[in-house]
Chain A
Amino acid sequence: MSHEPSGRVVKIEIDGRVVEARTGEFLLAVARRAGIDIPAICQHEAVDPAGNCRMCLVEITKASWDGWSRLVTACLYPTEQDLIVKTHSAPVIEARTVLCDLWLARCPDSAYVQKLAAEFGIEKTSYQPAAVPTDQCILCGLCIRVCEKLGPAAIYTVNRGGRKKVAGPFEGPPPDCIGCAACAEVCPTSCITVAERDGTRTIWDKEFQLLACTTCGRTLVTIEEARYFGRKGGLGESYYQLCDRCKRLQTAQQATKVAGLPLTVGGLGEASGRPFRSPGSLTTSR
């Protein structure tokens, strides 16, 4: 669902403070701008909000509601006039606590979840922890949404209800994956494994060749990613021949040549020399 704030400037109250916002603007954005902290796990500025994690629940009411209030997700709730928002009321904290407790049962071994739960005073889950915690995914769906936003839409959730999980088609390596690892980058629990070794990257059980900087040899991006974004952004594949550092050097060299200045800085000469190999094996367990 696309979302455009309709724009009228109104005043709302968040945790006792009067804050200006436009009607239609999501509460989370408004609160953040005002420096008010609301925990939000499945929200990332790169993608549209989805309301999956429920961590950003806040309590809303209005003077005209006769004391009635409700919990809504700040990431998705559009600002309206006269709204009174409580970001840390008792029902809000209770909901967040139970959510963390549930995640801890799902992913007892996740350092991220452990830390989160600890913030709500939970050391050990009240529920039954997963017997074989093979997976540290909390199903926030960020990886999927970021992949969709970038274009490939290579991964999605398969199954529904309690069997839901993130996977490629037929739960195999996703054919449309370009190996960009953006999913791993946004994953809050760092549970998407990206392994790099000998000029290759393996992600989602799929192995990719990495392009190396033609000057310094540092690995850059996967060939598929270069091709995909080269085509999509109209950049041409030559865009990915140099790493950003070598690109800067090249620009600097050209600039000095144009200015007719002698090139004296030692570091430049060294970096533009013989390409060095990337470290033998780099395994990021993200």
Chain B
Amino acid sequence: MELTLWTYEGPPHVGAMRIAASMEGVHYVLHAPQGDTYADLLFTMIERRDRRPPVTYTTFQARDLGGDTAELVKRSIADAVERFQPEALLVGESCTAELIQDQPGALAAGMDLGGIPMVNLELPAYSKKENWGAAETFYQLVRNLLKPQLPAPGAPKLDPTRWRAENRRPRVNLLGPSLLGFRCRDDVRELTQLLAGYGIDVAVVAPLGARPADLLRIPMADANLNLYPEVSGTVCSWLERQFGLPAVKTVPIGIGATVDFLRELHGVLGLELPAELQAERQSRLPWYSRSVDSTYLTGKRVFVFADGTHAIAAARIASRELGFEVVGLGTYSREMAREVRALAAELGLEALITDDYLAVEAAMAEAAPELVLGTQMERHSAKRLGIPCAVISSPLHVQDVPARYAPQMGWEGANVIFDSWVHPLMMGLEEHLIGMFRHDFEFVDGHRSHLGDGAPAAPVLEEPAPVAVAVAGGSLSWSADGEAELAKIPFFVRGKVRKNTEAYARDQGLAVIDSEALYEAKAHYSR
């Protein structure tokens, strides 16, 4: 048993939902109670998806438990297949259903589903988490669909340079981008452009936007790009083992990593890499970082905590490409602990591997950074500590899914990163000014910046003393209960309400504004 207040990752079936919802033509039947349908809002609210995730929940209730929940599972599967006509079906259970052991996958296997491929997902809810669930689901789905294509044991492996003999351009799969991942949609576009510039085609992008039929084409590519190892690591190593399809492991986030990525990819494909990559002309990050204005970035203390992929990328960019000093590095992705530890050691740090955000907050406070690069959890911790923060990884909040094009990968990704990490620091400067002027009379409690010292330190502001307060320049005054009523109005509209109420009171020729008058005014201005 483990006490959890806020979590970085959801349960593993939410990872499975991320795969199903990222794809087209896949449906997921989940044996789960009604409350578990909350997970839909992760997609429709945070990602602002315009459709429901393709998930049917059995929503069994206590009164079903005595009876036949297996029957309910079968009915749900049959209904879902008929209604949504999926091209592939995922069947699984959430934590509660795991306990009642109906084995929905086995039930589905015994049904006539009209020949559509069915994947039985067994995701242990009491020991695994969301990213693991996503990786496992993606892997099981690919494995299931590619079973008929498996090369015979001992058959020669695919040769990643065969594109030459076949007289075509080399092509690669982009594996790992998914919903609720960080900026995946834009990374796909950026990488596709980057690869096109080197004469490399994209064969399959998956899971994001792929249909089951697209997955069947995976072995036709010359190599896989393992873009988000948390999600695509398992499937990439399986494809490498079974099909001999090599995986490019460098994740191209940052200038150095993009250069390394191109080298690795060209090496795998047997392609000649142009001697001079001219990274400085492709992206503005190197020049912006060299320009004199950036001198004030030198040695800025940064604290990095994210999923494994983004933590590693961020530490490297921060230390080498922006001249920051990394004073803390960690991840909640236990699957990538080894890599993160190695990099931390290189930076002279001990990596923080934990999913306890309070431990992260404590480490953050201890490290006293000037900038935090983290998830939306660290944004809040940083806010409490008064430290500027940029979000670099899932878990996300709706504002981390921007409308504009904002990739992290490739050359444009580096530009985006420069702007979004340096921006809060500028704001940090502004915070000092705000601090200087905070005692000026215009400075009401609502005038808080989104960043830095925004944390309402005391939970509630002291209620004003219950005395009548005269309004400047007139015979108008507030009664104690009027003031008390006003104090209950949220700070960000309180000023407006006060002004309106006073105007209204003057109109009505009132001398004292009491709570009644406040409500009169409220009704008057209601619109």
Q: Do A and B come from one complex?
A: no
Q: Which residues of B contact A (CB under 8 A)?
A: none
